[in-house]
């Protein structure tokens, strides 16, 4: 938690190393994970409760002390850990962390918090709040602006907001992608003890376990990849072109390379090639490493002007975005983003999409995707591009129907088209958005 607070670390990347360093057994590691992720996810809600209970704004509490109070409050309100144990271990932790003088304060605040349960605190915070989305946001520990952005994107289905917010808090299953041409989903399910996914023909779901230890993953036959992301790569590879597919494919924002691996493997099967573009040198290296045995060339360049010869048959633009559609995988992310982040991302998305339209050949397809359902980043960006007179919009629902998952076939709940918004509560995927634009001349 200190690493997340002090150096904006990602909890899901930092915690596994900390757990190994602490040499915790499996049970304690599971508890430490639940406490860390749970506390980070609920942080905004916990802070409002701590403010009420301590009669001071959290900004005035020494940050390491605040970490301990948040952790204690999470245990009191959201776990079955006994109140005495939660309070006493928090006070003890203050002492061992050299914050002994804060022990009395930690003790007093936590005792006050323990006097009510989570539902009673939520009701106290909702006092005087009548707006239903604001009330839901408080109850599910989401920033209000994010709950509102979800409701806007759900549109007529905004009644599903409670399910969506709950799905955002549920621990996501691990999804694996079988590498096309290397192993089938059926074989991968067999060797990993997982289940085939229903939407992507390459997906396998695991209920638990560390995917990094699986032979198939270590040997590069499979990778960890959300099933929604697999569909994005597949839609880019399968969208109907006007004219033959010359096998010249482009991934214009490729780092760290998940979709480039899937696209590169499909290109290889079809005798084509993939060009990857990524602005961050480190992330470009990750793409090179992930695709090293595939017909993929990676350029470290700005996708807005990458200096490439136009004429690509297919361009995937998996645009840099707010990531609001993948909050369930990043416990701390919801409290880190603000509405102020959106406009800058939207301008970048527009410019990258312009560039993609310049680089694709007439008759070729640009697949625009985001791991965010925020309408400014999705429909607004795409509508503007679709207004050009050399662009026709394809129906992504048709493209996905043709892909057909191993088990299911056409996924349900894809909305009115022509674009598709996937949802964790409907599809079990991250909230990926996809639109397919074909250049006409
Ligand atoms: C959503 S991620 C792409 C994820 C990737 N497709 C995958 O499946 O692993 C967007 C990427 O775009 C990169 N990016 C941001 N601005 C860019 C730009 N101007 N040109 C090219 N890449 C950019 C980011 O560094 C980030 O790696």
Centre of ligand 1 to C-alpha 238, Å, is: 21
Closest CA to 432 of 424, 313, 189, 262: 424
Output the six-digit token pair for 108.
């007093």
Output the six-digit token pair for 147.
């709950």
Q: Report the distance separating Cα 11 and Cα 43, nearest Å.
A: 13
Q: Which residue CA neighbors atom 13 of ligand 1 most closely?
A: 253
Q: Is 48 in the pocket of ligand 1 (CB under 6 A)?
A: no
* Residues 136, 10 share a domain: no
Q: Would you call 420 exposed, middle or buried from its count of C-beta atoms within 10 A (0-12, 13-18, 19+)?
A: buried
Mean pLDDT of 107-112: 98
Of 61, 93, 119, the one marking the end of a domain is 119
pLDDT for the residue 407: 47
Q: Which residue CA neighbors atom 17 of ligand 1 most closely?
A: 279
Could you identify the atom of ligand 1 that is nearest to the CA of residue 320? 10
How would you classify the pairing of strands 420-421 and 433-439? antiparallel
Least confident segment among 115-119, 325-329, 344-348: 325-329
* Residues 25, 163 share a domain: no
Q: Report the distance separating Cα 295 and Cα 273, nearest Å.
A: 5
Could you identify the atom of ligand 1 that is nearest to the CA of residue 251? 6
Would you say 251 and 263 are in contact if contact means Cβ atoms under 8 Å apart? Answer: yes
Question: With 70 as the cut, is the pLDDT of residue 274 above it?
Answer: yes
Closest CA to 198 of 420, 412, 416, 425: 412
- How high is the ipTM of this complex? 0.99
Centre of ligand 1 to C-alpha 318, Å, is: 7
pTM > 0.90: yes
Sheet with 222-224, strands from edge to edge, namely 195-196, 203-206, 174-178, 222-224
At 439 the three-state DSSP class reads: strand
* Residues 52, 15 share a domain: yes
Q: Identify the bridge partners of residue 177 per DSSP, sorted by sequence position.
A: 203, 223
Which residue in 203, 371, 399, 435 is the catalytic one?
Answer: 371
Q: How confident is the model at residue 363 (pLDDT cuts 50, 70, 90)?
A: very high
* Residues 87, 150 share a domain: no
Q: What is the CATH number of the domain that holds 355?
A: 3.40.50.150
**Known binding positions:** 253-259, 278, 302, 318
Q: Is 437 in the pocket of ligand 1 (CB under 6 A)?
A: no
Residues in CB range of 41: below 8 A, 6 or more apart:
141, 169, 331, 332, 334
Residue at 198 is within a domain: no
pLDDT for the residue 374: 98
Q: Is 302 in the pocket of ligand 1 (CB under 6 A)?
A: yes
Of 98, 119, 140, the one marking the end of a domain is 119
* Residues 69, 133 share a domain: no
Cα 15 vs. chain centroid, distance in angstroms?
18
Q: Is 280 in the pocket of ligand 1 (CB under 6 A)?
A: yes
* Residues 132, 31 share a domain: no
Would you say 329 and 299 are in contact if contact means Cβ atoms under 8 Å apart? Answer: no
Output the six-digit token pair for 316.
């995937």
* Residues 268, 362 share a domain: yes
Q: Which residue CA neighbors atom 1 of ligand 1 most closely?
A: 320
* Residues 358, 326 share a domain: yes
Ordered DSSP codes for 312-328: EEEEEEE-----GGGGG
Name the E strands within 301-432.
Answer: 312-318, 360-370, 391-394, 420-421
Could you identify the atom of ligand 1 that is nearest to the CA of residue 371? 1
Q: Which residues of 98-120 are buried (b: 16+ CB within 10 A; e: fewer)?
A: ebeebbebbbebbeebbebebee
Output the six-digit token pair for 39.
């506390």
Question: With 70 as the cut, is the pLDDT of residue 410 above it?
Answer: no
* Residues 306, 164 share a domain: no
User: Cis ω on the peptide bond leading into residue 238 (within 30° of 0)?
Assistant: no
Q: Which range of residues forms the domain containing residue 47?
A: 2-119
Instruction: Respond yes or no: is residue 371 known to be catalytic.
Output: yes
Q: Other C-beta atoms within 10 Å of 95: how many? A: 13
Of 56, 91, 119, the one marking the end of a domain is 119
CA atoms in the 13 A half-sphere facing the CB of 388: 18
Centre of ligand 1 to C-alpha 303, Å, is: 9
* Residues 132, 70 share a domain: no
Mean pLDDT of 37-66: 96
Q: Report the distance separating Cα 22 and Cα 81, nearest Å.
A: 21
Q: Which residue CA neighbors atom 2 of ligand 1 most closely?
A: 320
What angle do the packed helices 379-386 and 341-359 form, to 10 degrees? Answer: 30
Residues in CB range of 369: below 8 A, 6 or more apart:
232, 236, 316, 317, 318, 319, 432, 433, 434, 435
Question: With 80 as the cut, is the pLDDT of residue 409 above it?
Answer: no
Could you identify the atom of ligand 1 that is nearest to the CA of residue 351? 19
Q: Is 259 in the pocket of ligand 1 (CB under 6 A)?
A: yes
Residue at 179 is within a domain: no
CA distances, 260 to each of 176, 290, 301, 305 (Å): 15, 8, 16, 20
* DSSP for residue 278: E
Q: Other C-beta atoms within 10 Å of 207: how many? A: 9
Residue at 404 is within a domain: yes
Q: Structural domain tally of the chain?
A: 3
Question: With 70 as the cut, is the pLDDT of residue 405 above it?
Answer: no
Q: What is the CATH number of the domain that holds 28?
A: 1.10.940.10
Q: Which residue CA neighbors atom 26 of ligand 1 most closely?
A: 255
Taking only the tens place, the pLDDT of each residue in 380-398 is 999 999 999 999 999 999 9
Q: Is 258 in the pocket of ligand 1 (CB under 6 A)?
A: yes
Q: Report the distance separating Cα 434 and Cα 318, nearest Å.
A: 9
Q: Which residue CA neighbors atom 6 of ligand 1 most closely?
A: 254
Q: Report the distance separating Cα 222 and Cα 212, nearest Å.
A: 10
Mean pLDDT of 7-20: 91
At 436 the three-state DSSP class reads: strand
Q: Other C-beta atoms within 10 Å of 2: how many? A: 12
Residues in CB range of 156: below 8 A, 6 or more apart:
none
Centre of ligand 1 to C-alpha 118, Å, is: 39
Centre of ligand 1 to C-alpha 253, Å, is: 4
Question: With 70 as the cut, is the pLDDT of residue 406 above it?
Answer: no
Q: Is 320 in the pocket of ligand 1 (CB under 6 A)?
A: yes
Q: Other C-beta atoms within 10 Å of 140: how many? A: 19
How would you classify the pairing of strands 195-196 and 203-206? antiparallel
* Residues 106, 162 share a domain: no
Q: Which residue CA neighbors atom 10 of ligand 1 most closely?
A: 320
The best mutation among 177, 228, 255 to test binding of ligand 1, ranked by most ligand atoms within 8 Å of the C-beta, falls on: 255
* Residues 65, 10 share a domain: yes
Question: With 80 as the cut, is the pLDDT of residue 239 above it?
Answer: yes
């Amino acid at each position: 938690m200190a690493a997340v607070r002090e150096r904006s670390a990602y909890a899901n990347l930092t915690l596994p190393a900390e757990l190994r360093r602490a040499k915790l057994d499996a049970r304690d590691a599971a508890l430490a994970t639940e406490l860390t992720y749970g506390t980070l996810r609920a942080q905004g809600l916990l802070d409002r409760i701590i403010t009420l209970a301590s009669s001071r704004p959290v900004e005035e509490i020494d940050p390491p002390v605040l970490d301990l109070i948040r952790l204690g409050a999470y245990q009191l309100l959201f776990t079955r850990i006994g109140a005495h144990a939660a309070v006493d271990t928090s006070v003890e932790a203050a002492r061992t962390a050299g914050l002994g003088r804060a022990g009395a304060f930690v003790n007093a605040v936590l005792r006050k918090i323990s006097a009510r349960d989570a539902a009673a605190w939520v009701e106290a915070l909702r006092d005087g709040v009548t707006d239903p989305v604001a009330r839901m946001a408080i109850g599910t520990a989401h920033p209000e602006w994010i709950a509102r952005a979800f409701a806007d994107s759900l549109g007529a289905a905004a009644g599903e907001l409670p399910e969506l917010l709950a799905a955002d808090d549920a621990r996501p299953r691990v999804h694996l992608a079988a590498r096309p041409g290397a192993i089938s989903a059926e074989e991968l399910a067999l060797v990993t003890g997982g289940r085939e996914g229903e939407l992507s023909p390459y997906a396998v779901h695991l209920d638990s376990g560390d995917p990094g230890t699986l032979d198939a993953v270590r040997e590069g036959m499979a990778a960890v990849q959300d099933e929604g992301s697999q569909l994005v790569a597949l839609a880019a590879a399968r969208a109907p072109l006007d004219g033959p597919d010359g096998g010249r494919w482009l991934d214009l924002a490729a780092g760290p390379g998940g979709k480039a691996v899937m696209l590169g493997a499909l290109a290889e099967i079809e005798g084509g090639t993939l060009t990857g573009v990524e602005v961050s040198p480190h992330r470009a290296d990750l793409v090179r490493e992930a695709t090293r045995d595939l017909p993929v060339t990676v350029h470290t360049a700005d996708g807005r002007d990458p200096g490439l010869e136009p004429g690509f048959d297919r361009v995937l633009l998996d645009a840099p975005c707010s990531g609001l559609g993948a909050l369930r995988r990043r416990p701390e992310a919801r409290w880190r983003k603000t509405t102020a982040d959106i406009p800058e991302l939207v301008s970048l998305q527009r410019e990258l999409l312009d560039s993609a339209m310049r680089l694709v050949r007439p008759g070729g397809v640009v697949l625009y995707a985001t791991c965010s359902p925020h309408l400014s980043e999705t429909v607004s960006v795409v509508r503007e591009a679709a207004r050009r007179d050399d662009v026709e919009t394809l129906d992504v629902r048709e493209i996905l129907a043709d892909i057909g998952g191993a088990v299911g076939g056409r996924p349900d709940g894809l909305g009115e088209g022509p674009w598709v918004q996937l949802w964790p509560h409907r599809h079990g995927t991250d909230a990926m958005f996809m639109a397919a634009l074909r250049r006409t001349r």
